[in-house]
């Protein structure tokens, strides 16, 4: 292969630029040119391709977001759009495509390989950690560090005023950030979609968390609750109903909410995200140059059956298998999801102590 393409697609994730840097530098060492597609599949279909040299990427590893830009493309979802993308790749002399992104982006890569015969290799990038066959995706560690930092600051002000805070974090279909974040910050409770609890049950359980936390036996100055955005009960509803409980039973206690939202996406990547992104990028290039295609490189997967790369921490999985495992992860049938929920349920009685 003399020329490879790279694009970032879907939601941005800290570490995407570190992956691009690793891809470009390793390709340069192997005598392979790299063209970057701007704005994901949309830019690929539009022919917006630009050469990337080591000099272009020297300083991008510390930047959040993606220097190539990202977009979600409705046109690419149509066969005509994918045919156009394949034509653009052929016209540019690109022999293989590296796709850095999440579920939708890697689904597009898989269909592009199946329909158009394009050689593709995927890199998992999703702050929600909602991709199958990989223990971590690019961006997860940075997002968790951002959540921990924000919760530490919120806890400071909450203790000063005897308050309970519900902190809503990203995680529309996967509650991993709320789960991992709650353990890291020592939260009193964690709410995530995978439990599927109705509003009345959540209010009852959280009311008890407030009573135990602020009651005379425990005497806490602050209660912290993490909530994934995928929980169907609106955060404002929980705040309103819990405040009513506090007014009736816990005088002087205020219940507040903070929605971190896209703050969790931003910022320079952590050390670990830079490490993961660099090693995934290098393994993806080597795998593509070795003739492999329609696969994703994964970081230290729990899923058996992956194929080895030169890096012992990185394993290849067929994109079809990864996408099937992702569906199972999100619908709750995956062993990984069941294990996460089981572990959180086992600690539920401990978190509020």
152 in active site? no
**pLDDT interval class at 347 (50, 70, 90):** confident
Q: Which of 12, 56, 91, 128 is catalytic?
A: 128
The CB density around residue 111, as the number of other CB atoms within 10 Å, is 18
Q: In terms of C-beta density within 10 A (0-12 exposed, 13-18 middle, 19 or more buried), how is residue 145 classed?
A: buried
**Taking a C-beta distance cutoff of 8 angstroms, is the pair 279, 300 a contact?**
no
Token pair 């940075």 is found at 142
Domain residue ranges of the chain, discontinuous segments joined by +: 3-139+269-332, 141-265
What does the pLDDT read at residue 124?
A: 98
Instruction: Say what percent of the chain tops pLDDT 70.
Output: 99
Are 200 and 259 in contact by the 8 Å Cβ rule? The answer is no
The pLDDT-based confidence of 97 (bands split at 50, 70, 90) is very high
Q: What span, in angstroms and rounded, lies between the C-alpha atoms of 6 and 40? A: 9
What are the E-state strand segments in 85-212?
Answer: 96-101, 120-124, 163-169, 189-191
pLDDT band at 352 (very low <50, low <70, confident <90, very high): low
Facing residues of 317 across strands? 296
Q: For 171-189, what is each residue's pLDDT tens digit? A: 999 999 999 999 999 999 9
E strand segments, 81-131: 96-101, 120-124
What fold characterizes domain 3-139+269-332?
Answer: Rossmann fold (3.40.50)
Q: In sequence order, what are the beta bridge partners of 8? A: 100
Q: Residues with Cβ < 8 Å from 154, sequence gap 6 or more? A: 165, 167, 224, 258
In whole angstroms, how far apart are CA 174 and each of 74, 131, 144, 160? 23, 9, 14, 33
Residue 332 exposed, middle or buried by CB count within 10 Å (0-12, 13-18, 19+): middle
CA distance 84 to 87: 5
Q: Are 123 and 20 spatial neighbours (Cβ–Cβ below 8 Å)? A: no
Domain 3-139+269-332 matches domain 141-265 at the CATH topology level: yes
Query: Please, which contacts does 145-150 make with residues 24 or more away whose CB atoms are closer than 8 Å?
Result: 145/270, 146/260, 146/263, 146/264, 146/266, 146/267, 147/177, 147/181, 147/184, 147/185, 147/226, 147/260, 147/264, 148/181, 148/184, 148/185, 150/258, 150/260, 150/263
Looking at CATH, the fold of the domain delimited by 141-265 is given as Rossmann fold (3.40.50)
- Given a contact cutoff of 8 angstroms between Cβ atoms, the answer to whether 56 and 253 are in contact is no
How far apart are alpha carbons 40 and 109 in whole angstroms? 11
Rounded average pLDDT over 325-338: 95
The stretch 97-120 carries a mean pLDDT of 97
Residue 127 has what pLDDT?
A: 98
- Tens-place pLDDT, residues 217-228: 889 999 999 999
Question: Is residue 314 scored above 90 in pLDDT?
Answer: yes
pLDDT of residue 353: 57
Mean of pLDDT values over 52-71: 96
d(CA 60, CA 17): 6
**Looking at residues 103-130, what average pLDDT do you find?**
97
Question: What is the C-alpha separation between 265 and 234, in angstroms, rounded?
Answer: 21
Report the pLDDT value the prediction gives residue 1, as an integer from 0 to 100: 80
Q: Is 291 helix (H, G, I), strand (E, B) or coil?
A: coil
Structure tokens at 301: 């997967």
Measured distance CA(113)–CA(115) in Å, rounded: 6
pLDDT given at position 203: 97
- The count of C-alpha atoms lying within 13 angstroms of the C-alpha of 41, restricted to the half-sphere facing its C-beta, is 28
- pLDDT digits over 251-305, tens only? 999 999 999 999 999 999 999 999 999 999 999 999 999 999 999 999 999 899 9
SS3 144: helix
* Confidence check: pLDDT of 144 > 80: yes
Q: Rounded to the nearest 5 degrees, what angle is found at the Cα of 198, between the Cα atoms of 196 and 203?
A: 120
């Amino acid at each position: 292969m003399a020329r490879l393409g790279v694009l970032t697609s879907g939601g941005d994730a800290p570490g995407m630029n570190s992956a691009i840097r690793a891809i470009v530098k390793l390709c340069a060492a192997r005598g392979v040119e790299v063209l970057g597609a701007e704005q994901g599949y949309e830019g690929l279909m539009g022919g917006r391709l630009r050469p990337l040299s080591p000099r272009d990427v020297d300083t991008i590893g510390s930047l959040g977001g993606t220097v190539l830009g990202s977009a979600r493309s409705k046109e690419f979802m149509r066969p005509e759009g994918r045919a156009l993308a394949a034509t653009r790749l052929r016209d540019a002399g690109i022999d293989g495509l590296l796709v850095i992104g999440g579920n939708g982006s890697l689904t597009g890569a898989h269909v592009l390989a199946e329909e158009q015969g394009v050689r593709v290799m995927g890199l998992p990038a999703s702050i929600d950690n909602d991709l199958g066959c990989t223990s971590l995706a690019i961006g997860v560690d940075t997002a968790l560090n951002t959540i921990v930092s924000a919760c530490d600051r919120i806890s400071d002000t909450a203790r000063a005023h005897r308050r309970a805070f519900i902190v809503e974090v990203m995680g529309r279909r996967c509650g991993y950030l709320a789960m991992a974040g709650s353990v890291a910050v020592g939260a009193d409770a964690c709410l995530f979609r995978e439990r599927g609890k109705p509003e009345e049950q959540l209010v009852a359980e959280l009311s008890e968390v407030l009573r135990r936390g602020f009651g005379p036996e425990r005497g806490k100055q602050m209660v912290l609750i993490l909530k994934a955005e995928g929980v169907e009960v609106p955060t404002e509803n929980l705040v309103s109903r819990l405040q009513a409980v506090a007014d009736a039973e816990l005088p002087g206690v205020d219940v507040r909410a903070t929605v971190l939202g896209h703050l969790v996406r931003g910022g320079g990547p952590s050390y670990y995200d830079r490490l993961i992104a660099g090693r995934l990028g290098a393994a993806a290039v080597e795998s593509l140059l070795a003739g492999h295609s329609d696969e994703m490189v994964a970081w230290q997967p729990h899923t058996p059956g992956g194929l080895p790369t030169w890096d012992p921490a990185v394993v290849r999985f067929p994109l079809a298998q990864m996408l099937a495992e992702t569906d199972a992860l999100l619908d709750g049938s995956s062993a990984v999801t069941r294990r996460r929920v089981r572990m959180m349920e086992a600690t539920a009685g401990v978190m509020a102590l």
